[in-house]
Amino acid sequence: MLLNNNATMSSKKKSILRGNGFRTLLFFLLLYIMGAPFLEPYPSLAVLAHISLSMALFAAVYTVHNQNRKRSIAISLLIPLIILYWLGIYDIIAFSRLGATLLFTAYYGLLVYSFVAQVKRASRVDTNVLYATFCLYLIIGLFWGALYMLLDQLCPGSYQGALLENPQYMDHAFNYFSFVTLTTLGYGDITPQTAGASSLCQMEAIVGQFFTAVVVAWLVGMFVSEKKKL
């Protein structure tokens, strides 16, 4: 009986990362992050960039593990987020941009929390675990990009740089700045101007180093340990 219970628990543990959800999400995330900057300068093509982000947001719902109603919470955040995001694109409602940024921050934060929990429960390293870890890294970058944008909207002038001078490229500029900070490249073309803004940058750099040093090392260690058992 005890063996059956252990087998059931082990099966549940392994089933958390089954399916193609993370692979699909990774595709749309890379499509948005890499493709949007090339499309945004052209008004007729910019809508494709917004569609790719919307598809990534929808795909993310299916990767949220349905435990403690996390998926229900994700859906309840996603619906108003999509509405406010598209209303903000066409400036239909004045406050929609700030509202969308608030919901982006909450939604990305929920995804980070869910992905960490799922990766942590993985019993072995397979392609789904790698997809989930890569998605987690990209979502962390987007999460901090939303935080930077939110802070700049609440306190204008928190960040300065040539890329921030054109409001059309604001989303890309803050995402770019986030990934540059996350990887600790620090090009210096966008810089924080307040203590709060610099504190956010500092925290992201710490998270980026932690991810590389701990999460990647943990995955490698689990993979090596599994190989030794075979």
pTM here?
0.89
Could you read off the pLDDT of 8-37 as tens digits, one per residue? 444 444 445 666 899 999 999 999 999 998
Mean pLDDT of 81-98: 85
User: Is pLDDT above 90 for 153?
Assistant: yes
Residues 6 or more apart from 126 whose CB is under 8 A from it? 17
What would the two tokens of residue 19 be?
């399916």
Q: At 155, which amino acid appears?
A: C
Helical residues (DSSP H) of the chain, grouped into ranges? 2-15, 21-39, 43-61, 70-89, 96-120, 127-154, 170-182, 195-210, 216-229
Residue 89 or 54, more confident: 54
Q: What is the pLDDT of residue 121?
A: 87
Could you read off the pLDDT of 29-64 as tens digits, one per residue? 999 999 998 988 888 888 999 999 999 999 999 999
* Beta strands, E only, 79-180: 159-161
Mean pLDDT of 95-114: 92
Domain boundaries, the chain: 20-229
Could you read off the pLDDT of 178-229 as tens digits, one per residue? 999 999 988 989 999 999 999 999 999 999 999 988 888 888 888 777 766 7
Using an 8 Å Cβ cutoff, are 149 and 174 in contact?
yes
Q: What is the pLDDT of residue 169?
A: 82
Residue 89 or 17, more confident: 89
- CATH topology classification for 20-229: Helix Hairpins (1.10.287)
User: Is pLDDT above 80 for 94?
Assistant: no
Q: What is the pLDDT of residue 6?
A: 44
User: Is pLDDT above 80 for 108?
Assistant: yes
